[in-house]
Structure 1
Amino acid sequence: MDEFIALNPVLVRRLIGTLIVIIATIVLSAIARRIALATFDEQERQYMASKWLSRGLWLIAIVLTIALWSPNASQLITVLTIIGAGLAVALRDVLLSFVGWIHLQLHPPYRRGDRIEVNNVRGDVVDVGLTQTTMLEVGEWVEAHQSTGRLVHVPNGWLYTHGVKNYTEGFEYLWFEQSVVVTFESDWEEAREIILEIADATVPNCEEPARRQLRQMTSEYLVQMNVLTPYVYVSLADHGVKLTLRHLTAARGRRSVRHDLISEILRRFQEHEEIHIAYPTYRISSSDSVPPAQNQRISHE
């Protein structure tokens, strides 16, 4: 060991210096986190301050380490150029994700707390890192966009390769549709009125807060949405009259609203003998004069 130190004193000094920089950065990051916790009361501000201080310290540590191993200015420029060229080729996706992070800081299409969908991955954003966004997943095997309990990490570079759908940016409500089919013999007009009554009584009143948010959105986007009240559309299905209720609901409350609606619709329809929920049926007819291979005909009723 003594011979190695004697033969390579510069290398040893650089190794020791690098180790000191790393240890100092770890200690200072821990101190910075404690300062952030003591300075800010809000959890989000504590989180942001801790993140930015830690990232800044590690960036300084990287620069100091490079300078330590290349004390000559011309050598430092050469090393940085070679490193930059290598990173551009070998770490294209990582660099794209880092550029995506810069984009998210300057003109964010989503923030922490937003519900987004990108490349068929859907969830609530819980963290935006230098190279990836972390989401609490919703959907998949769970119906009605409720949480699965899994954390999903997606690269920030997806901003440029896939479209981002934001369920809550600027406007925290979504149009939701629920369809019910009644038989052709049913009093569909009465059924339509019943569904509207149930919607007015069951669906949370979103009209006023939605209008306020729309007025705020018009300062940034060309948005036109005049009718915000529930409405029932009538159309024909193969097996009956289709009644489709369209209404506003909070982006995170669709399943409970649908449960309340369907439960009340079923109860109210049971009180009216002239209203019957339709379902697909089939008629099978046969004739003795036709060979067995050709004696069956199936048709929708």
Structure 2
Amino acid sequence: MKWIQFIREWVAEHPLISSIFKYLLLVAIVLICIQFFRRLLRKNILDTSARYKSQKGIEIIGYIVLIILSALYFTGNIKDFTVAIGLFSAGVAFTLQELFLSIAGSLYIFIVKVYKPGDRIEINGIKGDVIDVDSIYTTMMEIGQWVNSDNYTGRIVKLSNAFVFKGPIYNYSQDFPFIWDGFDLPIRYGSDIELAKSIIIKVATNILSNFTTNSKSQWKDVVNKYYIEDAIVDPSLAMKLTDNWIEFNLRYIVDYKKRRSTRDALNDAIRKAFEATNGKIILASSTFELVKIPDLDVNVAPKHSTL
């Protein structure tokens, strides 16, 4: 066939381009094999953790095989390889700089352990739980936005790994999977303040006992690892006098995934305890009390007939 003969002659005249084409074909075959085995494992492994780890293992093995095959392919052809790199390096560096930065970011995430799947983080203004980290993207289940408190929005966000070099990363779960939270309680003047203080502390101590106990040992590890002062993890109460009421601020430590449910339990228990005091403690509200209404003197003149 004439076209087969033409291809052979063209390949013989352009060995460098032919070599690059064969290498790209080899890379494509390896990548296809990686995706095939990933899908096979996804269908046959039911456990979520085992499925995720096995797919990541196949991906890493595939990349290692690709590196080995690349080294073997160019052995004895270093000159051709150097020429190819010289031709494409400038264009590739400009066109794929974000890609290279993302790959470097994935290595940085893996080596430094910035975060891992399962962590709750905030990066580039986006907060969520990390559900996957690959060589290019970090995939997150978004939290917040139009949804109040720490609830999922339902949106899955893919964020370039390059962002680890471009701004701060807030990790809610690394080293210390607890956060400090708190809320204000307005108490009306004239209430039994000492009784209110004892009720709030008692309720908080009972509900938060597990969080407090577990956080104390982990906080010691944080203090030993980092240059940081010791902190109080027991529930604490601060009082502030205002024009309208006495404001109590309850501060406590809680598991980062149970912030909303814990706050709800605290508010409900404190409300019930206050109601059981039979009016000794009354929650204040932004209402207005009219002390005295001024007297109004209204004179209505009689109408005169014009007839």
TM-score bin, normalised by smaller chain:
0.7 to 0.9
Partner of 2:2: 3
Give how far 1:21 is off: 5.6
Counterpart amino acid of 1:274? K
2:130 to 119, 125, 129: 125
Residues 1:260 and 2:265 are matched in the alignment: yes
Provide closer, same or farther for how the CA distance between residues 267 and 171 of structure 1 changes in structure 2, counting only shifts above 3 A. same
Of residues 154, 157, 172, the one that matches 1:167 is 172
Structure 1 residues 11 and 151, CA, compared in 2 at 3 Å: closer, same or farther? farther
Moved more, 236-245 or 150-159: 236-245
Q: Find the residue that maps to 1:186 and give its secondary structure.
A: coil
Match of 2:107 in 1: 102
Deviation at 1:49, TM superposition (A): 1.3
CA distance in 1, matches of 2:214, 2:255: 11
Compared with structure 1, are the counterparts of its residues 49 and 180 closer, same or farther at alpha carbon in structure 2 (3 Å cutoff)?
same
When the two chains are superposed, the root-mean-square deviation of aligned CA atoms in Å is 3.5
Q: Post-superposition shift, 1:174?
A: 0.8
- Whether the 8 Å contact between 2:27 and 2:66 is mirrored in structure 1 is no
Report the Cα offset of residue 92 of structure 1.
Answer: 2.6
1:274 aligns with 2:277: no
Structure 2 CA distance, aligned partners of 1:24 and 1:54? 7
Matches of residues 158-237 of structure 1 in structure 2 within 5 Å?
158-237=163-242
Secondary structure at the counterpart of residue 232 of structure 1: strand
**Deviation at 1:65?**
12
2:2 partner letter = E
* Whole-Å separation in 2 of the counterparts to 1:28 and 1:91: 22
Q: What residue in structure 2 maps to residue 137 of structure 1?
A: 142
Deviates more, 1:136-145 or 1:203-212: 203-212
The SS at the match of 2:149 is helix
Deviates more, 1:27-36 or 1:3-12: 27-36
User: Residue 80 of structure 2: SS of its match in structure 1?
Assistant: helix
Query: Following the alignment from structure 2 to structure 1, what is the Cα–Cα distance between the partners of residues 26 and 166?
Result: 41
- Tell me the residue number matched to 1:50: 58
CA contact (8 A) 1:173 1:249 kept: yes
Identity percentage of aligned residues: 24
Residues 118-167 of structure 1, C-alpha deviations (whole Å, 9 max, x = no match):
12201111111112111111122222212222211111111121100010
Instruction: Give secondary structure in 2 for the equivalent of 1:218.
Output: helix
User: Partner residue of 1:147?
Assistant: 152
Partner Cα distance (1:60, 1:6) in 2:
33
Relative to 1, partners in 2 of residues 1:228 and 1:24: Cα closer, same or farther, differing over 3 Å?
A: closer
Deviation of 1:113 (Å) = 1.1
Structure 1: stretches of 5+ with no match in the other structure? 290-301
TM-score with structure 2 setting the length: 0.78
Paired residue type of 1:3: K
Work out which of the residue numbers 110, 119, 122 in structure 2 matches 1:114: 119
CA distance 1:34–1:196, shift in 2 (3 Å): same
- Displacement of 1:32 after TM fit? 8.1
The amino acid across from 1:275 in the alignment is I
Q: Relative to 1, partners in 2 of residues 1:262 and 1:17: Cα closer, same or farther, differing over 3 Å? A: closer
Q: Which residue of 2 aligns with 1:297?
A: none
What do residues 151-203 of structure 1 show as CA deviations (whole Å, max 9, x unaligned)? 11111111121100010110011111121111223223321211111101222
- Structure 1 length-normalised TM: 0.80
CA contact (8 A) 1:230 1:247 kept: yes
State the alpha-carbon separation in 1 of the partners of residues 83 and 22 from structure 2: 23
- Of structures 1 and 2, the larger Rg is shown by 2
Q: Describe the shift of the 1:4–1:219 C-alpha distance in structure 2 as closer, same or farther (beyond 3 A).
A: farther
Cα distance in 2, alignment partners of residues 21 and 167 from structure 1: 39
Asked if structure 1 preserves the Cα contact closer than 8 Å seen for 2:30 and 2:66, the reply is no
SS of 1:8's partner is helix
The alignment partner of 1:153 has SS state of strand
Contact map agreement 1:21 1:65 (CA 8 A) in 2: no
Residues 208 and 82 of structure 1, relative CA distance in 2, 3 Å threshold: farther
2:41/2:55 contact within 8 Å kept = no
Shift of 1:213: 1.4
Structure 1 residues 212, 280: CA separation in 2 closer, same or farther (over 3 Å shift)?
A: same
Q: Deviations for 1:214-269, whole angstroms, at most 9, x for unmatched residues?
A: 23223431232242211111113453111111111101001110111111111111
